């Protein structure tokens, strides 16, 4: 692997890490905002209002109980007085009856009448006492009912007190966890800033490595030109090849800078503050440099195409040169430039009567500059290959994170997928088992989050970033767990899985 390729691989690895970190930062920020938005005020107000009402009810019940107790005390005293008076009257009545027994008949009759009057008076007092006792017996159950009511109110007040303490504890816990999530987001943001600086420095190294390769290509072209024995056509072809190589290097660097600018811009759009502004400025600078390099690449390709068109050739050689020039035109168009027309070919007739230079060959190849070839459908769903998990780590942190995101790397070095992927493509995962209809689980696609050289630098390890799907079940109670995402997130290093 060349120095430039190693630097490009390192840039790709850091950009992948940056994307994962940004996902974790956004998740932590959302968690902090969700926890920080918890307002215990309404719950506390409701609890205090209910407690106030219950306290009033408790006060009223206690006052009513005290009033009943006082009434019972009054009745007890009245009954005791009546019973004492009845006892005194009965004693006097008994004395009179005893005296009547010792008196003559006339006096005894008068004494007996007096005794009977006292007896009737005692009977009336006993009836009055009995009525008061009946009233007292009614007040007892009322007091017991008030005791039950007071106990119930006390129990409800205790529950509300516990609820108030729980709300206070939840508010404190939410504040603490919000602070922790905010700190994690700040840590992720700081690491993002460090990565951005490292990637910017790597792009400077990339520029130096590209310059070194360009010089080597130029030296090789000069050496080849000297061996061409001053043949004009050969020299022109050598110069065209050198321009083509330079264009490839410039286009390669432009694509690398554009990718970094795109990721920096996305992170800046989701961020805020000075760091987001710095990233946005960096993204603008990288984008401008990429545009400038695209212009330089277009100029190099145009120079190469012009050189190819100036060469006198015939037959198959001329057709090959025409195809090469057409390929350069297409590369120029992909970079945003305007390609030359076939009329740029010289109309001179070769000395041996070959095909005129003004004719064009319609069998143009689809080859362009040395861009990565995109291969598709290497392993179909009906013939999946087996990969081995080499890494599975969590990108988010904290028990209250808004989501669970994991970075997963899979070794495909012993499969046709090795070295046959580019960033942005997808691979399919076959989760084991069957669905509720008894059919194999549907294939799920996941984007490749690795540079073309893979996580290992040799194209043998691919990576993806997976969010564990946990959602409410729309069909009924409970939670819905995504089959494939949870299957991937639960895999351990060394586990095998089927890929397409």
Reported as a single tens digit per residue, the pLDDT across 245-278 is 777 878 888 888 888 888 888 888 877 778 788 8
pTM, full prediction: 0.47
Reported as a single tens digit per residue, the pLDDT across 270-309 is 777 787 888 888 888 888 888 887 887 787 777 777 777 6
Rg value, the chain, Cα: 49
The kind and range of the H/E element at 427 are: strand 426-430
* Burial class of residue 35, CB neighbours in 10 A (0-12, 13-18, 19+): buried
Contacts made by residues 256-261, CB under 8 angstroms, sequence distance 24+: 256/8, 256/11, 256/203, 256/206, 257/203, 257/286, 257/287, 257/289, 257/290, 257/293, 258/286, 258/287, 258/290, 259/15, 259/423, 260/11, 260/15, 260/199, 260/203, 260/286, 261/286, 261/287, 261/290
pLDDT (0 to 100) of residue 298: 81
Reported as a single tens digit per residue, the pLDDT across 406-465 is 899 999 988 988 888 877 788 889 999 988 888 888 888 888 888 878 888 888 899 998
Reported as a single tens digit per residue, the pLDDT across 151-203 is 999 999 999 999 999 999 988 888 898 888 889 888 888 888 888 888 888 88
* Listed range (127-136, 144-153, 254-263, 358-367) with the worst mean pLDDT: 358-367
pLDDT (0 to 100) of residue 332: 62
Round the average pLDDT of the chain to a whole number and report it. Answer: 80
Residue 10: pLDDT band with limits 50, 70, 90: confident
Count CB atoms within 10 A of the CB of residue 264: 26
CA 284 to chain centre: 28
């Amino acid at each position: 692997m060349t120095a430039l390729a190693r630097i490009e691989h390192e840039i790709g690895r850091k950009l992948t890490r940056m994307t994962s970190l940004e996902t974790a930062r956004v998740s932590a920020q959302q968690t902090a905002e969700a926890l920080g938005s918890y307002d215990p005020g309404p719950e506390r107000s409701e609890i205090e209002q209910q407690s106030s009402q219950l306290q009033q009810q408790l006060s009223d019940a206690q006052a009513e109980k005290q009033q009943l107790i006082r009434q019972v005390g009054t009745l007890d005293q009245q009954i005791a007085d009546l019973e004492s008076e009845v006892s005194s009257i009965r004693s006097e009545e008994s004395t009179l009856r005893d005296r009547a027994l010792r008196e003559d008949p006339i006096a005894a009759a008068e004494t007996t009448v007096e005794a009977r009057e006292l007896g009737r008076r005692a009977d009336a007092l006993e009836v009055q006492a009995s009525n008061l006792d009946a009233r007292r017996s009614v007040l007892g159950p009322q007091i017991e009912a008030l005791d039950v009511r007071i106990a119930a109110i006390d129990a409800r007040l205790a529950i509300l007190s516990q609820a108030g303490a729980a709300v206070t504890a939840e508010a404190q816990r939410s504040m603490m966890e919000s602070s922790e999530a905010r700190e994690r987001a700040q840590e992720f943001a700081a690491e993002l800033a460090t990565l951005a600086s490292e990637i910017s420095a790597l792009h400077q190294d990339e520029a130096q490595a590209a310059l070194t390769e360009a010089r080597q290509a130029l030296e090789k072209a000069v050496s080849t030109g000297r061996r061409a024995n001053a043949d004009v056509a050969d020299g022109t072809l050598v110069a065209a090849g050198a321009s083509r190589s330079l264009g490839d290097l410039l286009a390669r660097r432009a694509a690398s800078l554009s990718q970094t600018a795109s990721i920096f811009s996305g992170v800046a759009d989701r961020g805020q503050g000075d760091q987001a502004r710095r990233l946005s400025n960096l993204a603008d600078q990288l984008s401008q440099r990429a545009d400038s390099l695209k212009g330089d690449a277009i100029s190099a390709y145009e120079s190469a195409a012009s050189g190819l068109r100036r060469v006198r050739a015939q037959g198959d050689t001329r057709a090959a040169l025409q195809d090469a020039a057409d390929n350069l035109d297409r590369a120029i168009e992909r970079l945003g430039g305007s390609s030359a027309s076939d009329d740029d070919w010289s109309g001179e007739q070769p000395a041996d009567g070959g095909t005129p230079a003004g004719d064009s060959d319609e069998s143009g190849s689809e080859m362009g500059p040395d861009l990565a070839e995109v291969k598709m459908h290497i392993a179909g769903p009906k013939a999946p290959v087996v990969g081995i998990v080499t890494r599975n780590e969590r990108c988010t942190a904290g028990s209250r994170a808004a989501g669970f995101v994991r970075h997963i790397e899979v070794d495909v070095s012993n499969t046709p997928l090795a070295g046959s992927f580019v960033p942005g493509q997808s691979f399919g995962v076959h989760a084991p088992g069957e669905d509720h209809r008894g059919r194999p689980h549907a294939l799920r696609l996941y984007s490749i989050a690795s540079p073309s050289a893979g996580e290992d630098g040799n194209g043998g390890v691919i990576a993806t970033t997976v969010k564990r799907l946990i959602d409410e079940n729309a069909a009924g109670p409970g939670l819905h767990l995504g089959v494939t995402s949870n299957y991937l997130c639960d895999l351990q290093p060394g586990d095998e899985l089927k890929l397409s």
